[in-house]
Amino acid sequence: MDGAPILLELGGVLLGLAVLARLAGKFGISPIPFYLVIGLAVGKGGIVPLVTADEFIRAGAEIGVVLLLFMLGLEYSAEELGRNLRSGAPAGMVDVLLNFLPGVAAGLILGWTPVAAVFLGGVTYMSSSGVIAKLLDDLGWMGNRETPVVLSLLVTEDLLMAVYLPILAILTVSIGAAASVASILLSMTAVLVVLLMSRRYGAALSRLVFNPSDEAVLLTILGLTMVVAGIAERIQVSAAVGAFLVGIALSGPAADRAKVLLAPLRDLFAGVFFVFFGLEISPAGIVPVLFTAALLAAATAITKIATGWWAARRIGVGPRGRMRAGTILVARGEFSIAIAGIGVASGIDELGPLVAAYVLILAAAGSILARASDPLMVRVLRRRRPLVSARP
Amino acid sequence: MPDKRAQLSSGPEIKETNLPGVGVRFDFSTESGENVAVVHHRTGRRELVLYEREDPDCSRDVLELTESDSRTLAELLGGAKVAEELGKLQQSVEGLAIDWLPIVVGRPYAGRTIGDTGARTRTGTSIVAVLRGDVAFPAPQPDFTLEGGDTLVVVGTPRGIEDLATILQTG
């Protein structure tokens, strides 16, 4: 077999990603929209459609989602999730109401099926943990008073996704109502059991995984995560949730090593995953939905800002901090794409172009809005009170 | 919305806030009214944060510190080393407690020696250091004379330390 075509195609794609990632870094915005553009360019009806690398990218995208969610799970422990769920519940509820429902409503207005509308709800609900974590660091906001609120909202979203994805997985297979309910209960139970087990046996699992050889740790963790993800997908809990739970279960030295060892792999395959999503969409299909996507983006940017504003005000943060909390939450990215990806894979084709355009807009606008929020608020507040009196 | 509040001996109140997925933030106000926070990232990275005057929610300056940077800074600021060493000791021996006990002016042991307290024979605790103003006397001998205002650094079982505290109060 001639290896040249696939090497050339993959290498070309990776170099394209590399160039755009540098460009994005220069302007301080997320590279995700650029990755999508590359996918559009090399996909169906793009400028240079791929011929041989298609299969690899398809498999790579699958691994990309699994790694994204696994690494996310690594950041949290089961205790932390439980504690956060209690303290973050009110803000989490507001987040769901303000950001999930508009997506569902938009889907229904567009005349989509209820199932497709529920998918769109997830797309507009999930903020991008990846983009936001990077922004918090870049802007030096980690010590800010509003930041715990932002992080807590993200954690709640991630946790709710572990409940939401299995529901999606079941909604997309056409079975009876009773069977659906039973199936949903089963998957919820599975998620809960794993969470509780990881609290008790997480340390033992981590010891088992740990080994002085980097190679052994890497292969063990990667293999384990993929097997669990595969099983989860098989029983309709969704691969992403399986991987997330493995990440939560791992802790201590094993988790620290996993973070270092798997981060480069995650970056590679997450890139492939964004390309793959763009690949499946014809650029010509994006143009007609661009206006709808822009409207939806504007509406759900405002609802996210309202969510952050409300949550920050609740703990006594001032107007500038409220605006920062709101604007930083606007960015949508990897999770919106992951949800839409599941939808497209199960035949809801209308999700693809709309979500691609939506994420293109909000991944970029989210970074820009967060950067602009503070200077903007300073100006607004100055205008309102020309003389800023010194605080007592 | 701090998750915990704590106070070091006679210092300002320290507020502890969890940053899910990132680490913990500790903050306090200096005597001059400036807010200061330290963010402990789980990776070992530390950030020292100062806040804006106009917007007390926002960080004005962030100093990024690696683990060894923060150790150096703590040592330069003083005092931390003793606490760290004691902390290590406490971690390595289960059931061991460390406490700081004051010698109050006018109480029975101000002006008497460590031997007189009978700390070791009566409670099994050891007085490992005496702090007097800015000066520390490590490993004091039994004939060391205590003064009102001294602070004893005591190591022992929690029970023994409680007993010693009572003895110092009442004689």
Instruction: Give the least confident one: A152-166, A220-234, B6-20, B24-38.
Output: B6-20
Residue B157 host element (H or E): none
Distance from CA of A389 to the nearest CA of B (A): 9
Average pLDDT of chain A? 87
Amino acid identity, position A256: D
In chain A, DSSP assigns E strands to: none
Nearest neighbour of A140 by CB, restricted to B37, B57, B59 = B59
* Interface check A267 vs B, CB under 8 A: no
| Cα–Cα dist A256/A274, whole Å | 26
Say what the pLDDT of residue A392 is.
43
For residue A17, the domain's CATH number is 1.20.1530.20
Average pLDDT over residues A364-382: 87
Most confident of A77-91, A111-125, B102-116, B128-142: A111-125
A292 close to A56: Cβ distance less than 8 angstroms = no
User: What are the tokens at A290?
Assistant: 């661009």
Cβ–Cβ below 8 Å for A154 and B1: no
Assembly ipTM: 0.75
pLDDT tier, A46 (very low <50, low <70, confident <90, very high otherwise): confident
Ranking A144-148, A208-212, B20-24, B31-35 by mean pLDDT, the lowest is A208-212
Whether A137 contacts chain B with CB within 8 A? no
Label the pairing between strands B13-19 and B151-156.
unpaired
Check CB contact of B19 with chain A, cutoff 8 Å: yes
Residue A369 lies in a domain: yes
Q: What angle do CA B80, B27, A373 make, to 5 degrees?
A: 140
Write down the pLDDT at residue A116. Answer: 94
C-alpha distance from A158 to closest chain B C-alpha (Å): 11
**Going edge to edge, which strands form the sheet with B59-65?**
B4-7, B13-19, B23-29, B35-41, B46-51, B59-65
Contact A321 B53 (CB under 8 A): no
Domain contains A4: no
Would A390 be classed as within a structural domain?
no
Task: Report residue B100 as tokens.
Answer: 């700081």
Residue A174 lies inside a defined structural domain of this protein:
yes
- The shortest C-alpha distance from B40 to chain A (Å) reads 10
Give me the pLDDT at residue B83, please.
59
Position A189 in a domain: yes
Predicted confidence at residue B79, as pLDDT, reads 59
Report yes or no on A198 lying in a domain.
yes
Whole-number Å distance between alpha carbons of A169 and B24: 36
For the domain B89-170, what is the CATH code? 3.30.70.1450
User: What local confidence, expressed as pLDDT, does residue A302 receive?
Assistant: 96
In this prediction, residues A357-361 reach a mean pLDDT of 93
Chain B CB contacts of A318 under 8 Å are 55-57
**Is the CB of residue A155 less than 8 Å away from at least one CB of chain B?**
yes
Q: Where are the CATH 3.30.70.1450 domain residues in chain B?
A: 89-170
What is the domain extent for residue A54? Answer: 12-374
CB-CB under 8 Å, A142 with B55: no
Q: Is residue A391 part of a domain?
A: no
Q: For all residues of chain B together, what is the average pLDDT?
A: 80
Q: Are A152 and A125 in contact (CB under 8 A)?
A: no
Nearest CA in chain A to B43: A256
> Per the domain annotation, does A154 fall within a domain?
yes
* Each residue's pLDDT tens digit, B13-64: 888 888 888 888 988 888 888 888 999 888 778 899 998 877 888 888 888 8
pLDDT digits (tens, 9 = 90+) for A234-260: 887 788 888 998 888 887 778 888 888
Q: How many domains does chain A have?
A: 1
Are the beta carbons of A80 and B18 separated by less than 8 Å? yes
Q: What is the pLDDT of residues B69-90, one digit of tens each?
A: 888 887 788 755 555 565 656 5
Position A390 scores a pLDDT of: 45
Coarse DSSP helix, strand, coil percentages of chain B, rounded to the nearest 5 percent: 25, 35, 35
- Residue B71 Cα distances to A206, A207, A228, B85, angstroms: 29, 29, 41, 12
Q: Greatest CA span in chain B, whole angstroms?
A: 58
Chain A neighbours among B 48-67 (CB < 8 Å)?
Answer: 49, 51, 53-59, 62
Task: Tell whether the model's pLDDT for residue A170 goes beyond 70.
Answer: yes
